[in-house]
Structure 1
């Protein structure tokens, strides 16, 4: 499967990590996706895919057209068709908000059809993107749509959330909530309210996701791994807490995860394999 990704130019780069095309035959039909500091937009141009919530009480959904996904605090699974053709957007944790307004907070651990958010636009977008021949042209078409959808006026509280979450990103979640509220000059309650509105979760939960993402992406699965040292470096000061969170976020113990990654190594330069792992 081929991945072509581009970091967009300003002003989109404030809110988006990359826009990408994914096409071809997947190496693994089912991928287990741990919580990562991203919200998503998927535009599907191939056979339907299926998304599964790791919570047994959560529904699965057949993904045939276009879907938004907010920030997830638990893992989910993607079941690909035999051949894949989709365009996706990785939004920064705060980045979905200026494109969907008040819906960003409501999309935590949820997915919603594009038309439910952007009012009957998915067919037009899919026709425009599907009519172009190259991945580069498809990415340009999606960039145009995103620029047109970007809110003209700054949303209340978003600048503060962006600045605060940016500190968490740079530190991999190592800044305390007290330091964040002090720097922002607001109360913890006010900061949490703004984060829930624009991200869907509190600053503390965003810090947890950045901390875990930093750890999982730093693991050299082909060499010896000292989990205790990695956990301490990432800011886990309680080994039992680290083990529980790791199992919650991946569905595996650290030992089982390492064995899986050694059996199915991530492909260098192929971002979808950096965090997600085979589940089939």
Structure 2
């Protein structure tokens, strides 16, 4: 699989310097047949033998992930489907191991799930809870493949075998809506998004609950917070009051509270910690 995505692609991983010192992530683009559903495939590997465990905090995006983890030192494996995470997402790794995963486009998992994506928001399911016995068999097969490329190829083929006969127009519409939010940092209200897309607010809410798994207000706020985290990571020379206003917050105090809740520390402190990372 040679469709490597450039490493500068944003991932929502916080505290980039500590992350780089603890694990490596590579991402590959899906084949054309899966492009309407899968944003990227990814592999994360780590070797912390003789070192302290690493706790990684991620500022999540509105997407579903299907992952297969092998903890080689412990001799254990785990497979799961992770719905949209509303709040913080923290994962601890130790020893050595690997994760192979698929990150779905917003709306892209709905055709595989066969039910509203909001039903799995905030939940982590075993793969067989969605795909049945073939999902359990897939987990066992990937667990036995120490070569990451082979494991990733097997995951890709599994999804190719189960892709819908034709793309779902509503899934594509949901993906475009979220991409629009991501591309427009100045967009801060659901009404603006609905107007931009030429859709009523109630219809927009239903689309997001059915296909994205969470409402458009949360999606807008999360992308604005991702924007803030990226600005903070770039250095300490940020006018926080100006940034708060730009991102649609009533005042700097409100922005600071939300940033601290999402990232785990204040904007200024986070920027100081990242300076030079």
TM-score normalized by structure 2? Answer: 0.78
Distance 2:235 2:218 in 1: 30
Equivalenced residue count is 251
Aligned to 2:15: none
For 2:70, the equivalent position in structure 1 comes to 45
Segment drifting more, 39-48 vs 70-79: 39-48
2:203 pairs, out of 161, 167, 190, with 190
The equivalent residue for 2:184 is 171
Match of 1:213 among 223, 226, 239: 226
Matches within 5 A, 1:237-276: 237-262=250-275, 265=277
Could you say which residue in structure 1 is the equivalent of 2:88?
A: 75
C-alpha distance after superposition, 1:83-116 (max 9, x if no partner): 1211022223322222222152112122111111
Q: What is the CA-CA distance between 1:70 and the residue it aligns to?
A: 1.3
Whether contact under 8 Å (2:42, 2:102) holds in the other structure is yes
Q: Give the Cα separation in 1 of the matches to 2:169 and 2:245.
A: 37
Aligned to 2:123: 110
Listed as ranges, the gaps of 5+ residues in structure 2 are 1-22
CA contact (8 A) 1:23 1:84 kept: yes
Structure 2 residue corresponding to 1:124, chosen from 93, 115, 137: 137
In the alignment, the residues of structure 1 paired with residue 195 and residue 62 of structure 2 have an alpha-carbon distance, to the nearest angstrom, of 23
Contact kept, 8 Å, 2:39 with 2:103, in 1: the verdict is yes
Matches within 5 A, 1:154-165: 154-155=167-168, 157-165=170-178
- 8 Å CA contact 2:77–2:143 kept in 1: the answer is no
1:204-235 CA-to-partner distances (Å, cap 9, x unmatched) read: 21111111112212334445333233334444
CA separation of 1:184/1:174 partners in 2, compared to 1, >3 Å: closer, same or farther?
closer
Contact 1:104 1:199 in 2 (8 A): yes
User: Could you tell me which residue of structure 2 aligns to residue 277 of structure 1?
Assistant: none
- Aligned-partner Cα distance in 2 for 1:249–1:128: 36
* Distance in 2 of aligned mates of 1:183 and 1:234: 18
Q: 1:156 to 1:9 in 2, by over 3 A?
A: closer
Mean Cα deviation higher: 204-213 or 123-132: 123-132
Match of 1:29 in 2: 54
Q: TM-score, normalised by structure 1?
A: 0.77
Q: Provide closer, same or farther for how the CA distance between residues 159 and 23 of structure 1 changes in structure 2, counting only shifts above 3 A.
A: closer
Tell me the equivalent position of 2:151: 138
The answer to whether structure 1 residue 95 and structure 2 residue 117 are counterparts is no
Query: RMSD of the TM alignment (CA)?
Result: 2.8
- Aligned residue number for residue 59 of structure 1: none
- 5+ residue gaps, structure 1, are 50-62, 266-280
Whether the 8 Å contact between 2:232 and 2:267 is mirrored in structure 1 is no
